[in-house]
Amino acid sequence: MKIFTAEQIRNWDWYTIANEPIASLQLMERVAAACSNWLLEQRYAQKPLHIFCGKGNNGGDGLAIARQLLTQDADVTVYILETGKKGTDDFQRNLELLHKYTSNIHFLQSADFFPILQLQDVVIDALLGTGLDRPLEGLIAELVQHISNSPATVISIDVPTGMFADKSCKDCICMRADHTLSFEVYKQCFLYAENAEYCGSIHLLHIGLHPAYYEATIAAHQIIESKTAQAICKKRNAAAHKGNFGHALLFAGSYGKTGAAVLSSKACLRSGVGLLTVHTAKCGYIPLQTAVPEAMVETDSNEQHLSAASADLLRYAAIGIGPGIGLHEETANVLMQLLQQAHQPIVLDADALNLLSIKKDLSALLHTDCILTPHPKEFERLFGKVANDFERIERAKEKAEELNCVIVLKSHHSFIACPDGNAWFNSTGNAGMATAGSGDVLTGILTGLLAQGYNTTEAAVLGVYLHGLAGDFAAAEQSQEAMIASDITAFLGKAFLHVSQTNV
């Protein structure tokens, strides 16, 4: 699914108005009907409804929702934030219509007029939508704080008031919604970890915006959905043998961190690779052979850490390096040798990224077939501090282009930046995956997919989606609290079945 900017969404409205054609007031009526139906279906319309409206079109939506729900005998009180300015045409027209249905309309001129909101109350936040052009201050900021601090359930229309669609609102005042009802496609702001606590659950409602605009418009970002992953996932040839699915090589583990090697090896094998060799410190030999009998183990000459790259790199279809390798000087040399000698796709994770941030010169050796998988801290060590999630995404895109490799930024909705400028947000995954070893599992999956012949972009998109989906299945079974990284690997099979459903 494409992610549009606020401007593209506004243009989509206007395109629909001009080409369906439909009057803008009628489009607002359709927006309000989609919201009213949701409120009725979810039984929120049975509770006392407090609808707070600004004087723009977001407020117009709120007034139309109020009228539609009054015809369903809902208990509705409307509040209009008085700005001294006239409302938009569609706002004014909806206000005239609403007066025919109720006189329970209050104009808020100061905080003295704010209602006391109770636990059973439902607030509809139609104060500001995509027209926000500056941080909230003054009376509207006080109102947003008053509502957010109340025990009422808050349902924001289009966006939580105060949240910019396409830039950060970190450290600004913003409505804390329990649900956000938005339309057709995700807005960028819904996908940032820093906004998650303000958006609540996001519900995309269909309002019949013109499909031709969606088809013709190029979006800077997309969301990875089930069908995106399905389109990438290759059907396995019935007559295949293990040689068809590649031989992966993982550089993982050091003294005290052999577990990371075990986790990434198992995930690599569960991602469909034909053969796996793990290059690890000598101390990891017995644990690895015991825990992962399917893998071949090649031990380093050093007991505790990696000190030399594999002798014959040409045998392997893809390489993964990083989980649990530590930061020893000799291990940095292994990374350097690998980047100099290996021409096959390489996944760099964890300590491989930390080594890269210590030895900045190594970045020059990265190539188009590299995938970097930093979490925000590793990203900062590599590419410097950023002020907010928006900046981090922009920096990831810049760096993917500059270094000519794929960057997978692991987060609430993991982000994939490709050197050709394409970029995706993942739609799967949950907070239970913020657990030790979860990243090692992803490294294994990505290495396994690359070994099977997926290119770096395909492997990143499919791998990140499968990793998150397996995490969602694991959380459903084990709870977000109790799930551990091995559970993600255990549910990879179910994730593959889900993704390959339409491929059989």
Ligand X SMILES: NC(=O)C1=CN([C@@H]2O[C@H](COP(=O)(O)OP(=O)(O)OC[C@H]3O[C@@H](n4cnc5c(N)ncnc54)[C@H](OP(=O)(O)O)[C@@H]3O)[C@@H](O)[C@H]2O)[C@@H](O)CC1
The contact set with ligand X (CB under 6 A) reads: 10, 13, 24, 27-28, 31, 54, 56-59, 61, 85, 88, 128-134, 136, 140, 157-158
Are 318 and 293 in contact by the 8 Å Cβ rule? The answer is no
Q: Quick one: angle between helices 438-451 and 258-270, nearest 10?
A: 40
> Which among 434, 420, 4, 474 is positioned nearest to 223, based on CA atoms?
4
Q: Output the smallest distance, CB 158 to K ion, in A.
A: 5
Query: Whose Cβ is closer to K ion: residue 68's or residue 180's?
Result: 180
- Name the minimum Å distance from CB 151 to K ion: 20
CA 358 and chain centroid, separation:
28
Q: Which helix (H) or strand (E) holds 125?
A: strand 122-126
HSE (side-chain half, CA atoms, 13 Å) at 328 = 17
The site partner of 136 among K ion, ligand X, none (C-beta below 5 to 8 Å per kind) is ligand X
Beta carbons of 112 and 102 less than 8 angstroms apart: no
Binding-site annotation, residues for (6S)-NADPHX: 57-61, 129-135, 158, 260, 324, 375, 440
Q: Output the DSSP codes for 383-398.
A: H---SSHHHHHHHHHH
By CB under 5 A, is residue 369 in contact with K ion?
A: no
Burial group, residue 6, by CB count within 10 angstroms (0-12, 13-18, 19+): buried
Which of K ion, ligand X, none has residue 246 at its interface (CB below 5 to 8 Å by kind)?
none
Select from ligand X, K ion, none the partner in contact with residue 161, using the beta carbon and a kind-dependent cut-off of 5 to 8 Å.
K ion
Cβ closest to ligand X, residue 141 vs residue 296? 141
- Residue nearer to ligand X on the CB measure, 31 or 250: 31
Answer for the pair 114, 108: CB distance below 8 angstroms, yes or no. yes
Query: Under a CB-based contact definition with an 8 Å cutoff, are residues 251 and 325 in contact?
Result: yes
Pick the closer one to ligand X by CB: 75 or 82: 82
Non-local (6+) Cβ contacts of 486 within 8 A are: 263, 266, 437
Minimum distance of ligand X from residue 64's CB (angstroms) = 8
Closer CB to ligand X, 13 or 487, in the complex: 13
Q: Which does 133 bind (CB under 5 to 8 A by kind): K ion, ligand X, none?
A: ligand X
Residues 107-126 that bind K ion (CB under 5 A): 125
31: partner contacted, choices K ion, ligand X, none (Cβ within 5-8 A by kind): ligand X
Shortest spacing between CB 137 and ligand X, in angstroms? 7
By the criterion CB under 5 A, which residues form the site for K ion? 125, 156-157, 161
